[in-house]
Amino acid sequence: MFTKVLIANRGEIACRVIRTARKLGVHTVAVYSDADARSLHVEMADEAVHIGPSPVGESYLRGDRIVAAALATGAQAIHPGYGFLSENPDFVDQVVAAGLVFIGPSAASIRAMGLKDAAKRLMEKAGVPVVPGYHGEAQEIVLLASKAREIGYPVLIKARAGGGGKGMRRVEHPDDFSEALSSARREAKAAFGDDRVLVEKYVDKPRHIEVQVFGDNFGNAVHLYERDCSAQRRHQKVIEEAPAPGMTPALRKAMTEAAVKAAKSINYSGAGTIEFIVDASQGLDADRFWFMEMNTRLQVEHPVTEMVTGTDLVEWQLRVACGEKLPKTQSEITLSGHAFEARIYAEDAAKGFLPATGTLHHLKFPGVAPEGAAMRIETGVRAGDAISPYYDPMIAKLVVHAGDRLAGLEALRTALAQTEIAGSTANTAFLAALAADPDFVAEDIDTGLIGRHQEALTAVAPPTGEIISAAAVAASGAGALPSSNDPWSSLAGYAHFHGVARRMRLKFGDEAIQARISVRSDGRFQVALDAPYDSTNSHDLRAVPRLARWPGHITVFEGAVGYTFAVPDPLARSDEAAAATGSLRAPMPGLVKLVRVAKGDAVIKGQPLLILEAMKMEHIIAAPHDGVIAEIAGEGAQVTDGTVLVRFVEDQSASTAAAGG
């Protein structure tokens, strides 16, 4: 076994690798950028080396600095995690040339599977079924549009490099092909440095089912069964599970055999995933699945496979990389129970899953697993850490394992309801709603499920009077419910003509809330809310709510929902000019990728104005109302959260002059 390994990654996967390495007695070296100087993976590792500024191109994608760090610290091998350089064959060559071991497949295997078009041609030769489509080298728009017509709409444009849903567009009509192609190419170029694409038939009711494979350097290859990753938004996975619901013995046999055949065709060594698209329009059938791509690395969702097979895939990676044979034969790998993984992101599901930033002022996961289940939390952050605009906004992966699927879903919902996050918007309420969705529960799943149910899944009920009252009491400084040690308790014993009351102001979104708080003779808080919040009712707080105080805010937790209230500073002066509706501000830090209008242009509500690239995705900034552009940010501008992107002409006469001039 190695004595020291460098981890060329950050966040939760770096922490995950460190835990297994520590279990095996292997020392670890972390690398970090400026933004990660005080991060959890740096704290956990035995050593840490600074490799550059916060942008990934100047730090985590600098293979030369990472190799130099490994050599300087005496590491024998480099574990790439996932993302960044994990599927970069040139980096593998760098590692090997330096006399180090790359904990993963060979550069030749990565090259064989790294480009989707070439991989599909290779799989066709190996006898593995592939999706009908165009996988050729020519990239002229006329040719691609022609191939799309031959395939038949709807089609899917996919970047031939990378993954994670980036550079992927569904196209319903020929008139939309050119715009979708341009958008996919821009996103692919930004994410992978390669704007070439392939065009495939879009399967009407697709299931995304993948098979975990593992090979060694002795010609052995096995599978560890399948995972279902069909619950996706924007082509990115949200909840994964193993085994796949509704899987038939015939399809499992055909799919796992095809996966092992694919791995052996390239002499694969290490952890890998063969991804298949399955037509679920008539149930799961062994004749309706096709190879999509191979991920030549450990997957984000690997914990669900570990839970149902009782394996540690990172340990397998380390053992195979240092020259050992596979720890188990195929007959020794068995399935047990059902596992789910929910990806908890800093994002606003109600706003189209818009990525969020912010400081995690409060972060609390369930202390114990739900009854009858096992649970693990995979995270790379702690309370007080910031969600940076430079990297993926994942907060944690919540993984549960139970005896069957329904028990696993119940455990997942329970664990999500016990998770508390304040300081940054998070998607826990959306995940809980998805875990309770009737179609999801009934196994009627495909990759379009979230899109079809998005409005219901992202809707959050407004806060009840009790929730608002709890926030008001907390904001008043009274704490939770009164006790003998609470200064508010003394008010309970005082009355002249009426009880003493204190007035509090809160804001929930754009809504201003007025509350009057008093203490009853029995020590309970009584809160009266002004219109429109239960103006005729008052609320006696009988139970201590789950809540978090953080600078200028109170968050009250009700199940998986966190209701955040702003607490206005009574000494602060409001700035009406800053709240003017004549400007449009950046919702997050990012890069102005494309500007579609110019100064003086008249625009209508909903019209796309520019494209902001942030969190590795493109976001369309549209006009909030009709108007005339007075100023607009330039292409290539790097903006921060709140930067004015667009100003509109303020009055109608100016608008008319600008439009006519």
**Nearest Cα residue to 21 out of 39, 44, 40:** 44
**Nearest Cα residue to 585 out of 646, 631, 634, 637:** 646
- What 3-state DSSP class applies to 487? coil
DSSP tag of 587? S
Strand pairing report for 617-622 and 538-541? unpaired
DSSP tag of 255? H
The residues that bridge with 603 in the sheet, in sequence order, are 627
Q: Which residue type sits at 520?
A: R
Do 160 and 116 touch, CB atoms closer than 8 A? yes
| DSSP per-residue string spanning 69-93 | HHHHHT-SEEE--SSTTTT-HHHHH
Sheet of strand 638-639, all strands in order from the earlier edge strand to the far edge: 617-622, 608-614, 590-595, 638-639
**Nearest Cα residue to 648 out of 596, 619, 613, 609:** 609
Secondary structure string (H, E, C) spanning 524-540:
CEEEEECCCCCCCCEEE
Separation of alpha carbons 463 and 568, rounded Å: 18
Separation of alpha carbons 27 and 1, rounded Å: 11
Separation of alpha carbons 491 and 480, rounded Å: 15
Separation of alpha carbons 156 and 135, rounded Å: 12
Cα torsion at 50, 56, 60, 62 (round to 10°)?
Answer: -90
Cis peptide before 154 (omega within 30 of 0): yes
Which sign, positive or negative, has the C-alpha torsion 185, 187, 188, 190? positive
Taking every pair of Cα atoms in the chain, the longest distance, rounded to a whole number of angstroms, is: 91
Separation of alpha carbons 17 and 31, rounded Å: 13
297 counts as catalytic: yes
Separation of alpha carbons 85 and 358, rounded Å: 27
The residues that bridge with 594 in the sheet, in sequence order, are 611
Cis peptide before 532 (omega within 30 of 0): yes
Do 567 and 475 touch, CB atoms closer than 8 A? yes
**Nearest Cα residue to 4 out of 101, 96, 144, 93:** 101
Which sign, positive or negative, has the C-alpha torsion 238, 240, 246, 249? positive
185, 297, 319, 405: which is the annotated catalytic residue?
Answer: 297
DSSP tag of 267? T
Give the DSSP H/E element, type plus range, for residue 488. none
The region, left, alpha or beta by phi > 0 then psi within -120 to 50, assigned to residue 642 is: left
**Nearest Cα residue to 39 out of 380, 377, 391:** 380
Cis peptide before 393 (omega within 30 of 0): no
Any idea which residues carry the catalytic annotation?
297
